[in-house]
Structure 1
Amino acid sequence: MMMKLTFLGTSSGTPTRHRNVSGLAVQTVLGADWFLIDCGEGTQHRVLQTPLSLNDLAAVCITHVHGDHCYGLPGLLASAGMGKRTKPLKLIAPLPVWQWFEATRALTDLHLPYEVEHVDLEEQQLVYEAPGVRIERHALLHRVPSHAYRVQVETRRVRLKADALRAVGLPPGPAWRVLQSGEDVPFDGGVLRSADFADTQVDTAAAVVGGDNADPALLRDACKGVQLLVHEATFTQDALDKVGPGPMHSSARLLAEFAQSAEVPNLILTHFSARHQNEEGMAALMAETQAHYRGHAFLANDLDTYELDSAGNVTVSRG
């Protein structure tokens, strides 16, 4: 497993009996740190139903200002403070979300025992970088500025050529660890070069997680080389045609056609209108997707987890 995605909310606009509004937790193979993409009202309640700890939350990434994607933010951050969190947290969000949070903090006497650092996603494409992790934002089309996040995870493993080392007479020991770390080793009047006796295996996994968006094709560049796309499919095409262009959302057909043209091997649909949240409606969304997309397609449910490996394989555990 390189990346693990846990859906904390899969409904659009308002929560329903079985689906909360938008929230997605992203974990990586690199450690306990995790990332929250969107934080609709009630997200912290869903987090309580998972093994995730708010003390390990590295960054919150908000796609846009609409409330079903951010109204849970002040409560979640307040709970993190009451849970004795002390390490800084990055809030990657449009400027209005930061201004709203700052106003809420001031007007509700919210004192956090940790620093919240705002990263204005309008000012830079690379919004988060740590050893092995890169998060980039990509602009979408919605009634307000909306964005997707491209999350890439990379691991490196160095394997020594044990037979070659034994052949030159270097026994296992501290010198092997030095070579494995990338440094050369003096030996028998010469130098053993790490590059000659160590192979580096690099594994990479990448996923794109979209906010609300009327034009999936805007993600063509972002989806180059990714193994997984997570994107809203608020309506079937018939429902979208009836609703009209005003809401500026995607249909399952629009999304499926783009994912097929971009050759994305795995596709997860989420952010479903309440009108489709029944057995018949979900079946219609899946049928429409499969009619236009030949990859692996999934309809997300709250608390579902999806694991992505470096080979592009996705495994799902139902919540």
Structure 2
Amino acid sequence: MLNFTFLGTSSGAPTKLRNVTGLAVQPAGARDWFLIDAGEGTQHQLQRTGHSLRSLQAICITHVHGDHCYGLPGLLASAGMAGRTAPLTLVAPLPVWTWLASTRECTDLHLPYDVHHVDSALQPVVWQSPGVRITAHPLYHRVACHAFGVEVRHDTVHLDTTALRDTGLPPGPAWKALQSGQDLEFEGAVLKSADFVAHQSRRVRAVFGGDNADPSMLQTACADAQVLVHEATYTQAALDKVGPGPMHSSAKGVATFAQQVGVPNLVLTHFSQRHHDDAGQAELEAEARAQYQGQLWLGRDFDAFELNEQGQLRLQHSDRANAGNEHA
């Protein structure tokens, strides 16, 4: 029901194998998709995926720090040059919108489509369309920052054809009328739609975090989520050494929180360059697994995940075989 692909998993600066933050999110089977964060080089990363800028519905920027938004002006410009004319929604804190407006003015950037700003600090529901709902959740960082909860709902209506045949009502427009909720009179009896129609709703929810020094800020957001994607910039030892100034999370802290709230799938991302090589990744993984008993992944660029209607998460595609070691 929901697919997401990592476009960047490095914090602060890109490296040879990891770009800075970007994540493509798409309801399964849909052309429309959403972008969460747009670090420098995001549009180049997108060229290695099947996502079209014409089908992009909204961009959700967690916060104004450059590794999460410096790719935004170029991406918007490229969308215009690719022939986009449909309006686009930008969900972001006000500083992102102010910076973008200044950049557009200073670089003479004219877009052939409208960009509508939704301030993520002012309203909890930042996007809603049939079957899709995106909510914003405040985080604890040096600047205003938000996580985004993405909910996909699929409602189906099942007609009990066996019971209808038993009534003698022939298939055709009358069946469709019952399925649409209308009651019918047939051979002196009233056939009630509710007796022949069953409604079923399936729903999945994933929470995509920005930079955050306190995972417990997401306790309410994660209460009904099947997946949490959260930064784990450091191991706990590295975080203790760096100190509280950067206001990031450790793998231990995130995993402890995920275990406490019972979220069944945890995907870590936004890694410091000191943890990019195999040894650093192994250390982060071991630290998280010591605290968390659910399904755990450490994201890599172009890892593509699918969250199915049963709430099960699986890795669809990965470039892990070609990842090798990366030394920062």
TM-score category, normalised to shorter length: over 0.9
Moved over 6 A (4+): none
Given residue 262 of structure 2, which amino acid in structure 1 is its aligned partner?
E
SS in 2 for 1:225: coil
How far apart are 1:62 and its partner, in Å? Answer: 0.4
The AA in structure 1 aligned to 2:259 is Q
Q: Deviation digits for residues 52-97 of structure 1, max 9, x if unmatched?
A: 0000100000000000000000000111111111111100001111
Q: 2:158 maps to what in 1?
A: 159
Displacement of 1:179? 2.0
Counterparts of 1:67 and 1:187, CA distance in 2 = 67
Q: SS in structure 2 opposite 1:292?
A: coil
Q: How does 1:223-234 map to 2 (within 5 A)?
A: 223-234=222-233
Structure-2 residue corresponding to 1:202: 201
Q: Distance in 2 between matches of 1:267 and 1:207?
A: 10
Q: What are the ranges of 5 or more consecutive residues in structure 2 without an aligned counterpart?
A: 320-328
Partners of 1:30 and 1:132 within 8 A in 2: no
Confirm whether residue 185 of structure 1 aligns to residue 184 of structure 2: yes
- Residue 181 of structure 1 and its aligned partner are, at CA, apart by 2.4
Deviation track 1:178-219 (CA, whole Å, cap 9, x = no partner) reads 222233333223432221111111010000000000000110
Aligned match of 1:124: 123
Q: Is the 8 Å Cα contact of residues 138 and 219 (structure 1) preserved in structure 2?
A: yes
Question: Secondary structure at the residue paired with 2:241?
Answer: helix
2:75 matched residue in structure 1 = 76
Query: What is the deviation of 1:172?
Result: 1.9
1:107 maps to which residue? 106
Separation of aligned partners in 2, 1:79 and 1:157 = 38
| Separation (CA, whole Å) in 2 of partners of 1:160 and 1:63 | 43
3-state SS of paired residue (2:54): helix
Alignment of 1:304-315 (within 5 A): 304-315=303-314
Q: Give the Cα–Cα distance (whole angstroms) in 1 for the partners of residues 184 and 101 of structure 2.
A: 55
| Number of positions where the alignment pairs a residue of Structure 1 with one of Structure 2 | 318
How high is the TM-score relative to the length of structure 1?
Answer: 0.98
Percent identity between the two aligned chains: 60
- State the shift of 1:220 in Å: 0.3
Secondary structure, in 3 states, of the residue corresponding to 2:148?
strand
RMSD: 1.0
Structure 1 residues not aligned, in runs of 5+? none
Structure-2 residue corresponding to 1:241: 240
Q: Indicate how the Cα distance of structure 1 residues 113 and 184 shifts in structure 2: closer, same or farther if over 3 A, else same.
A: farther
Q: 1:114-138: CA deviations, max 9, x gaps?
A: 1100001111111111111111111
Which amino acid is 1:31 matched to? A
- Structure 2 counterpart of 1:297: 296
Whole-angstrom distance in 2 between the partners of 1:36 and 1:158: 31
Q: Write the letter of the residue equivalent to 2:318.
A: R
Alignment CA distance shift 1:191-1:107 (3 Å): farther
**CA shift at 1:153, angstroms?**
0.5
Deviation at 1:30, TM superposition (A): 6.0
Contact 1:65–1:96 (CA<8 Å) still a contact in 2?
yes
CA–CA separation in structure 1 for the residues paired with 2:70 and 2:144: 17
CA distance in 2, matches of 1:193, 1:33: 37
- Show the counterpart of 1:318: 318
Deviations 1:254-306 (A, max 9, x none): 00000000000000000000000000000001101100000000000000000
CA contact (8 A) 1:126 1:135 kept: yes
Cα shift at 1:250: 0.2
Asked whether the equivalents of residues 93 and 118 of structure 1 are also in contact (C-alpha less than 8 Å), the reply is: yes
- Structure 2 match to 1:50: 49
Please name the residue that 1:93 is paired with: 92
Structure 2: distance between partners of 1:93 and 1:18: 28
2:74 counterpart letter in structure 1: G
Counterpart secondary structure, 1:145: coil
In structure 2, what residue type is equivalent to 1:318? Answer: S
AA aligned opposite 1:121: S
Normalised by the size of structure 2, how large is the TM-score?
Answer: 0.95
**Aligned residue in 2 for 1:29:** 28
